[in-house]
Structure formats: C-alpha cells, structure tokens
Structure 1
C-alpha cells in the first residue's frame, strides 16, 4: 500500500466509500469537518474521505463548514481533491445519469464563509479557471475509457439552497448560460485553490430543472428523494471512475498551476 495525497469529498448519496475504514476525529482552526475523516484503501493507496453532509445527511448545504473540510484535508497533506456532486440539469443535452466535469462556476450563494483570508493578509487569488485542468483531464480520460456518457465542459451555477429553484428562477438561470445547478460547488473549489490544492468536480445529473419546456417533462419538479435515488443508481459508476483515476497517481506532488495559487496574490 502507498500513502498518497488524495482526498475525496462525497455529496448527496455518497456517505461511505470504503468497506473497511478507519475513522479519524479531526479539529481545525475553523472547527470540525462535516464528518470524521474516513481513511481507507483505494487502488492500493491510502485515501481520505469526508462526507460533506455528515454520515446521516444531517447538514444542509448552506450549513456545511466548507473551510473546516478543506483545512482538515490540507492538514493531512492532501493536495488533490475529487469532489462528487449531484447536479440538476438546465441543459437539454445533459440528462440524468450523465457525468458532468464542470470547468466554470457562477456563485449565487450568500453568507457562506468563503475565504481563509479575512485580514490582516489581503489575498486575491485567480479563479479564472476554478477547477484543476490536470485533474479534469485525468477524470475525463477515465470516463471515456468506460464508455459512460459525459460532458467535458459545463458552467455550474451554485445556489444557496436548501430549497430547489422556482420555474421562474430556472428560466433565468438557463437563459444566462448556466448548464447545471449545485448547492455545494461553492466555496469548496475556491477554498481548495486558496490552499494550493488541485480540485475537480465529478458531477452526476440527477434531475431535470423544471424549466426546459415540453422537451423534458416540466410537470415533474425536483425533489430531494429523486436526487438521492438517482445518484445512488450511479454510485457504482462514480466509484469506478474514482478508483481508476486514483490508480494513476502515486506519491508525487502535483506540479500544476493550482499549487502556485498564492504566488503574486498577496497584497
């Protein structure tokens, strides 16, 4: 078994990743993470796993301690994070069961602790490309090799939650050019970048936003039960992608631009 620098954050429907696991209770400068750190073996490597919403889905998206989750993995030496997301589709070409590897996000949340730099240090990191391109390419290569349906580019709109959007909101979101909806993609990606950690979102379309007209059954608004059910159907596919992708990494640290995130960013 190799030690590794890999962390996984699981969203709705993915609360346990390993058959045999060790639980580590961790505290950080920003409080406790969403769940004990689950340590297990994947592709003959030690991997750290956090259940974003807690082991029993007791933490709603707007109450997740995103700073503690990222900090806990950072303190353990993680410099690559694979995050899973259940996504609602605003794009008719993106259907339930499809993988989506987002390359952009739009933040529509408020009140979340979304930076480690609240002063006296003033830091302005670049998020022009908020998801690690190296990890995105690694994941896309694996998904393609399995023959799964996927979309290699998408704009992820992150809403506050915990409610789902109205039809009117979704019409606006769609017209603005957003492809998928998440409640948790922000501020995870930004916090990882502030810690110099490579971060990729492995998304699964779980539902169709009630906006796309007669093409996609607008009479069926999204429900949480539907989201969890559809994600659970895809869990085996998600785990197969994670295992195959993780197997490609050894103990070497990432050399991509993410680790240089603070270079020139401090005022």
Structure 2
C-alpha cells in the first residue's frame, strides 16, 4: 500500500467500493465539506472520498462548498484527486456510456468561491493545462486495459446549473468548440491547483445536448431522469475503471508540475 492517500470526489455510490471504511467530518477554515470524509481501501490504496452533492444529494451545483471539499482532502494528505463527472455531450463522437478525459475547461459559472486567496495574500496561478497530464495518462491506460470506449481529450464547458441549457445556448457552446458539459468541474480543478494537488476528471457521457439532429442522434432535450438512469447504468463501469486505475498507482513521483503550481504565482 502506498503511503500517500488518494482523493476521490464523486457520487455517493462510490462509497460501496471502500474496504475497512470509516467516516469522519473534517471541519476546515472554509467550512464543512459536502459530506463526511469516507476513508478506506480500494485496490490496496488508502482512499479518502467525498460525496460532492452530499450523501442525500442535498447540495445543487452552485451551492457546493468546493473550497471545503478540496481543503479537507488536502489536510488529510491527499495530493492526487480523481473526480468523477456525469457530462452531457456536444460532440457527436462522444455518446452516452463513453468515458471522457477532459484536458481543458471553459468556465461559464458565476458567484462561486474559486480561490483560497481572497486577500491580502494574492496569487495568480497558471491554468493553461488545468488537468494533470500524468493522471490522465494513467487513466487512459486503465480504460484501455478495461476495454472501455473513451476519448482522451475534450473541452469541458462548466455551466452554473442546476438547470440544463436551452437549445440556443447549446448551439452557441457547440459552435465555440466545446465537447462536453458539466455543472461541477469548475472551480474544483482550479482549487486543487492552488493546493498543488494533481487533479483529473473521469467523465462519463450520460446524455446528448439538444443540438444534434440526425437519425442516430435525434434532437431531444436532456432530462434529469435520463441523466440519472444513464448514470446508474454506468456505475459498474465507473467503479471498475477506478479499481483498475488505483491498482496502477505506484510510489513513484509523477512527472507533472502540479505540485509547483504556486511557484512564482505570489504577488510580492
């Protein structure tokens, strides 16, 4: 078992993967995380898990305490986070059931606390490459090992939620070159970077955004029921991929620069 724990943020059902599990509330200077931190073993690795929306899905996307979630994992020694996301697709090649490893995001949210540095201490971190390339590479190997259909690059559009987009909005976002839609990918990735944590998104497509109009992909609006049903159908796939990827984690240092994200970022 490696010494450094691994963080997972996602749906509450992932808790069932943990062996020898225990639950603890970790209070941070930014408040309480969305749920108790559930700790245990997966594939021989120590894991700390937070249910992003709460154990009873009581926190909508715009009300999640993202800072407390990241801070709680950081204080527990987590320096690598795998975040699972249910995403809608704006790309006809990315269909329900596909895994997506986003490498870029576009933020269309507002009013979310998206920095740990509210002043007087100020930093300007780079987010040119917001998702850890080494974790994405490891996850790609895991998806190939499991024989799962996946996409190794994608632009994740993060919307405010909790509503789904209008058809007009989706057409604009489609024409801008976005691939998938999430309501929670931001500001998680940025906050993790401010703490020097390697962060990646393991997305799974649950629905097609209503911009594609063909015999294969009729232009139907997304519904929460469809998203939930497709998420539930994909749960076993997600847990299998997590097990495979955690089995690949080693004690060797990643060759990414996530841990150095704050170097030169402080305003003197």
The verdict on a shared fold, with TM-score over 0.5 as the criterion, is yes
Counterpart position of 1:34: 34
Q: Secondary structure at the match of 1:228?
A: helix
How far off its partner does 1:213 sit? 1.6
Q: Secondary structure at the match of 1:21?
A: strand
Structure 2 CA distance for partners of 1:25 and 1:13, relative to 1, 3 Å? closer
CA RMSD of aligned residues (A): 1.5
Q: Secondary structure at the match of 1:69?
A: helix
Q: TM-score, with normalisation over the residues of structure 2?
A: 0.95
Q: Secondary structure at the match of 1:122?
A: coil
Counterpart position of 1:217: 218
Counterpart position of 1:10: 10
How far off its partner does 1:226 sit? 1.2
Q: Secondary structure at the match of 1:200?
A: strand
Q: Is the 8 A contact 2:14 2:239 kept in 1?
A: no
Task: State whether structure 2 residue 190 is matched by structure 1 residue 187.
Answer: no
Provide the rounded CA distance (Å) in 2 between the counterparts of 1:41 and 1:197: 20
Provide the rounded CA distance (Å) in 2 between the counterparts of 1:222 and 1:68: 30
Aligned length: 266
Provide the rounded CA distance (Å) in 1 between the counterparts of 2:13 and 2:207: 14
Task: State whether structure 2 residue 241 is matched by structure 1 residue 229.
Answer: no
1:172-183 equivalences in 2 (<5 Å): 172-183=172-183
Task: State whether structure 2 residue 152 is matched by structure 1 residue 145.
Answer: no
Counterpart position of 1:206: 206
Q: Which ranges in structure 2 are unaligned for 5 or more consecutive residues?
A: none
Counterpart position of 2:238: 238
Q: Secondary structure at the match of 2:91?
A: coil
Q: TM-score, with normalisation over the residues of structure 1?
A: 0.95
Single out whichever of 103-112 and 137-146 deviates more from structure 2: 137-146
Provide the rounded CA distance (Å) in 1 between the counterparts of 2:71 and 2:151: 30
Single out whichever of 78-87 and 2-11 deviates more from structure 2: 2-11
Provide the rounded CA distance (Å) in 1 between the counterparts of 2:12 and 2:234: 12
Question: CA offsets per residue over residues 68-114 of structure 1, 9 Å max, x none?
Answer: 00000000000000000000000000000000000000000000000
How far off its partner does 1:20 sit? 4.7
Q: Which ranges in structure 1 are unaligned for 5 or more consecutive residues?
A: none
Counterpart position of 1:263: 263
Q: Is the 8 A contact 1:130 1:189 kept in 2?
A: yes
Structure 2 CA distance for partners of 1:18 and 1:12, relative to 1, 3 Å? closer
Provide the rounded CA distance (Å) in 2 between the counterparts of 1:94 and 1:258: 28
Q: Secondary structure at the match of 1:4?
A: coil
